[in-house]
Amino acid sequence: MTTTLHDPTRPATRATTYREALREAHRDAMQRDDRVFLMGEDVGRYGGSYAVSLGLLEEFGEERVRDTPLSESGFTGAGIGAALGGLRPIVEIMTVNFSLLALDQILNNAATLRHMSGGQVSVPLVIRMTTGGGRQLAAQHSRSLEAYYAHIPGITVLAPATLEDARGMLWPALQDPDPVVIFEHGTLYNLAGELPEEPEPVDIAHAAVRRAGTDVTLIGYGGTVWRALAAADDLAGRGIEAEVLDLRVLRPLDDEAVLGSVARTHRAVVVDEGWRSVGIAAEVSARIAEGALYELDAPVERVCGVEVPVPYPKHLEDAALPQVADVVAAARRAVGDYA
């Protein structure tokens, strides 16, 4: 029988999931500030399309957990108005695919009002949405459109990949005087692990090294972070030590972290579920070329979604999205391992 000694210096932890961490983040924000409220399709009585808001209606009431009509433009506009009026709205859009119906509100109103008012008004609005494929939901529910939003000046774009970030990004996002868009990859909601009972504050301005390495940098965000970590495990068995960098913040990109990692490993693989053309991977690759060209010992590799609508059949969906084997193959090319 093995006895584990109690370590009083180790923070107490508890088992949770990504979904539950997000729910706890909402509960914490709503308890801290009575100006915070949640609105969106099915967030109340149904408990959220992905069960993130389950139980919040019963706890906080209909004034602060508001079911909306199926009109993304309408309720996103209402959220912008509430933010202008001094509240701190969290707008949940069921999926990034549907967010295009609200793109006019986000781009032409939320992102521009501070500039167009000469700094007189702010829009302290948080917009959450699910992104990504891998769940056999076909083309209209499986896109990764983060690059559309990372292109827009005037907003911050976050992509929590870990339980800690799922729990900790919402509160600092609500403190931002400008709009913040948070992308949650749909395959992460069931991600399980341990969280401290007393969570540490989360930084929403910088990337994070999730695994240290010396031979190649694997750069991802959201759901691709876990594929990069799995690829790093595979590569380690081949004698290749990969560093895994989680971008976390897609706008503004943390150039210092990206270039610093490339300076350590001299090779880079960017993993992005979005389409290859004019995407996040393209932007990161361009910044590496601009800021660390002479550090590179090999061309930057990109592992991206195939430029087709995401198929429904699983074998075709798998072929269309970046897989661990694709990341491993790209990293091996970068280090010249053709065995």
Q: Return the active site residues.
A: 72, 141
Edge to edge, the sheet with strand 156-158 lists: 65-67, 36-40, 88-93, 126-131, 180-185, 156-158, 249-251
Q: For residue 261, which amino acid is it?
A: S
Question: How far is Cα 178 from Cα 119, in angstroms, rounded to an integer?
Answer: 11
List 151's β-bridge partners, or say none.
Answer: none
Cβ neighbourhood burial of 60 (10 Å; 0-12, 13-18, 19+): buried
Phi/psi of residue 81, nearest 5 degrees? -60, -40
Q: What is the 3-state secondary structure (H, E, C) of the chain?
A: CCCCCCCCCCCCEEEEEHHHHHHHHHHHHHHHCCCEEEEECCCCCCCCCCCCCCCHHHHHCCCCEEECCCCHHHHHHHHHHHHHCCCEEEEEECCHHHHHHHHHHHHHHHCCHHHHCCCCCCCCCEEEEEECCCCCCCHHHCCCCHHHHHCCCCCEEECCCCHHHHHHCHHHHHHCCCCEEEEEEHHHCCCEEEEECCCCCCCCCCCEEEECCCCEEEEECCHHHHHHHHHHHHHHCCCCCEEEEECCEEECCCHHHHHHHHHHHCCEEEEEEEECCCCHHHHHHHHHHHHHHHHCCCCCEEEEECCCCCCCCHHHHHHHCCCHHHHHHHHHHHHCCCC
Establish whether the linkage from the previous residue to 252 is cis, with ω within 30° of 0.
Answer: yes
